[in-house]
Structure 1
């Protein structure tokens, strides 16, 4: 009876520790990770992220880049470290831009950029089990309550959709973005 009671107490302690470990108090609100496999080459995926024209084909309504020297980047040119951007999405007015800087663009499989007040975004593209995998990490997200809602939850939902749209676009050419301004509060804009 004492052994049974001790085992039960140990099990209760283990369950309590697991619950405490996974409680929201221990959740890291300063970062998140979103991954998706894509049937496309690493270079094709990288290229989809690294020119204004490519970004506008699956992600943005408008992507404007300026070089580190302040010169406009041609719509079909590759972005580079030090370039600055102003982005606009479908479903949002021109007075709701996202601005940031390209921190790393290695030409093959890695891109890192500041993402306004929402932190830093890292895009790593690799091969796993015979498929290309996009691994997006957004980090350095502020952790106040408003940032948790807007940047952590909002951006993770947004990136989930846009990575799925990139997959759809690269694998079959279908762009899932809502381009009809009359539709508000939809998941695809």
Structure 2
């Protein structure tokens, strides 16, 4: 059996939409709120808030909140310089660094999400490797559903606990 690398994981999802639609979904507050977040707030290094349809930029900081969770559940991080054809790269709070690329695999358009630099203590393995991988499996599937004309699959009821 192959040993698990708890410091990183990759999730891939095939999409049948344009590269521009994918980029907009990942790099604008409105795009992120369409499939991923209840609130995506980005602030420039000068302290100005990005407009909802404005592309985020390197060194912007963010505050994110999810549907189905109270306001006390919030993530904060920073947009980092994309590398190697990435469309976005960001520090995902204490959970490491997340990057997203659009690739072509066997003539299919695929988003490839990498989360790396995950801390190696036992709590981080469960919360950031297992927990984040579960989330990053669901949310790109929701992105596919939303962008390909389907439904938004998120739980938007804070009183419905998904434990």
> Could you say which TM-score interval applies, normalised by the shorter chain?
over 0.9
Identify the residue that residue 89 of structure 2 maps to in structure 1.
112
- Greater gyration radius: 1
Given that 1:46 and 1:109 are in contact with CA atoms closer than 8 Å, whether structure 2 keeps it comes out as: no
Cα shift readout 1:1-60 (whole Å, capped 9, x = no counterpart): xxxxxxxxxxxxxxxxxx4xx2xxx32100011001000112211110111111111100
Given that 2:77 and 2:93 are in contact with CA atoms closer than 8 Å, whether structure 1 keeps it comes out as: yes
Given that 2:86 and 2:99 are in contact with CA atoms closer than 8 Å, whether structure 1 keeps it comes out as: no
Counterpart selection for 1:146 from 123, 141, 144: 123
Identify the residue that residue 13 of structure 1 maps to in structure 2.
none
| Structure 1: gaps (5+ residues) | 1-18
Count of paired positions: 162
Given that 1:42 and 1:126 are in contact with CA atoms closer than 8 Å, whether structure 2 keeps it comes out as: no
Residue 68 of structure 1 deviates from its aligned partner by 1.5
Q: Provide the aligned C-alpha RMSD in A.
A: 1.5
More helix per residue:
1
| Structure 2: gaps (5+ residues) | none
Identify the residue that residue 32 of structure 1 maps to in structure 2.
9
Q: Report the Cα distance in structure 2 between the residues aligned to 1:172 and 1:130, rounded to whole angstroms.
A: 21
Q: Report the Cα distance in structure 2 between the residues aligned to 1:51 and 1:148, rounded to whole angstroms.
A: 30
Q: Secondary structure at the match of 2:109?
A: strand
Q: Report the Cα distance in structure 2 between the residues aligned to 1:56 and 1:166, rounded to whole angstroms.
A: 10
Identify the residue that residue 7 of structure 1 maps to in structure 2.
none
Instruction: Return the TM-score normalized by structure 1.
Output: 0.81
Residue 143 of structure 1 deviates from its aligned partner by 1.0
Identify the residue that residue 12 of structure 1 maps to in structure 2.
none
Given that 2:70 and 2:158 are in contact with CA atoms closer than 8 Å, whether structure 1 keeps it comes out as: no
Counterpart selection for 1:170 from 138, 147, 163: 147
Identify the residue that residue 98 of structure 1 maps to in structure 2.
75
Q: Report the Cα distance in structure 1 between the residues aligned to 2:16 and 2:140, rounded to whole angstroms.
A: 13
